[in-house]
């Protein structure tokens, strides 16, 4: 059934009001802003632990599809999206500035415990469809997948993690790397595409 004009206007105004509210909440500085953002997150997200610090200018969309552990630090200008996907973040996770985490349509991203994510990192669990050469790629939707980042992983600045990838426990992803395939546990990877540079070994 076609939406009539008054209902469409009301819906658009409600959406804009919600966006303005989100912007205002994201702009509040200091401890007051931290408390209000955590309170709003707890109201909307599926699960939120203790001490989830969200800095100013962080964009979070699709909170109902997100799960958060405890002792999480999300720095300024990060973007978390889960409008049509699923996102789970473990405990003792830190994200530096301008990180983008996006499960996208039908995708899922799971981040384990004790994970460090450097500035400007992009983790995305879907690609644009491009099977047809007769249809513009922007009109072919998305192909969803999954990303799993296991416990105790360090992802360096400007790295990109693509869909259908698992980064094993204790691994390090070098700055600027593009991860397109699974990373074995305790590996150090780097390059485009990322390749194993060495294995971490136990020290006495």
In a domain, 123, yes or no: yes
Do the domain assignments include residue 141?
yes
Confidence of residue 132 (pLDDT cuts 50, 70, 90): confident
**Any domain includes 92:** yes
What is the predicted pLDDT for the residue at 204?
40
Answer yes or no: is 142 within a domain.
yes
Q: Is residue 125 part of a domain?
A: yes
Query: Residue 96's domain spans which residues?
Result: 5-199
Is residue 128 part of the annotated active site? The answer reads: yes
The pLDDT assigned to 198 comes to 93
Catalytic residue among 77, 128, 130, 142: 128
> What is the bridge-based pairing of β-strands 72-74 and 94-95?
parallel
Output the average pLDDT for the chain.
Answer: 90
Contact (CB, 8 A) for 77 and 96: no
What's the CATH code of the domain at 162?
2.160.10.10
**pTM for this prediction:** 0.86
Spatial distance between the Cα atoms of 101 and 60, rounded to a whole number of angstroms: 10
C-alpha distances (whole Å) from 78 to each of 26, 82, 140, 201 are 11, 14, 27, 33
Per residue in 136-195, pLDDT (tens digit) is 888 877 777 899 999 999 999 999 999 999 999 999 999 999 999 999 999 999 999 999
pLDDT surpassing 60 at residue 116: yes
Domains of the chain: total: 1
In a domain, 204, yes or no: no
Q: What percent of the chain has pLDDT over 70?
A: 97
Q: Specify whether the CB–CB gap between 160 and 177 falls below 8 A.
A: yes
Residue 133 DSSP one-character state:
S
pLDDT per residue as tens digits for the range 40-99: 889 888 899 999 999 999 999 989 999 999 999 999 999 999 988 899 999 999 999 999
H or E element in which residue 59 lies: strand 59-61
Listed in sequence order, the DSSP H helices in the chain are 5-27, 30-44
- What single DSSP character describes residue 97? T
Q: How many residues does the chain have?
A: 204
Would you call 53 helix, strand, or coil by DSSP?
Answer: strand
User: pLDDT tens digits, residue range 8-49?
Assistant: 777 778 777 777 777 788 888 888 988 999 988 898 888 999
Residue 133 in any domain: the answer is yes
Provide the pLDDT for residue 2.
67
Whether omega before 193 lies within 30 degrees of 0, making that bond cis, reads yes
């Amino acid at each position: 059934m076609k939406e009539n004009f008054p209902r469409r206007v009301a819906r658009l105004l409600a959406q804009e009001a919600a966006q303005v509210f989100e912007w205002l909440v994201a702009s509040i500085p200091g401890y007051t802003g931290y408390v209000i953002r955590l309170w709003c997150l707890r109201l909307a997200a599926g699960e939120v632990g203790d001490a989830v610090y969200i800095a100013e200018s962080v964009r979070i969309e699709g909170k109902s599809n997100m799960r958060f552990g405890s002792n999480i630090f999300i720095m300024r200008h990060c973007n978390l999206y889960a409008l049509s996907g699923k996102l789970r973040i473990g405990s003792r996770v830190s994200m530096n500035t301008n990180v983008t985490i996006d499960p996208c349509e039908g995708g899922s991203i799971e981040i384990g415990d004790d994970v460090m994510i450097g500035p400007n990192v992009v983790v995305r669990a879907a690609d644009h469809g491009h099977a047809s050469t007769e249809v513009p790629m922007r009109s072919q939707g998305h192909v969803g997948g999954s990303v799993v980042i296991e416990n105790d992983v360090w992802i360096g600045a400007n790295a990109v993690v693509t869909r259908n990838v698992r980064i094993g426990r204790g691994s390090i992803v070098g700055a600027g790397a593009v991860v397109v395939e699974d990373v074995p546990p305790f590996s150090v990877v780097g390059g485009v595409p990322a390749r194993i540079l060495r294995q971490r070994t136990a020290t006495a």
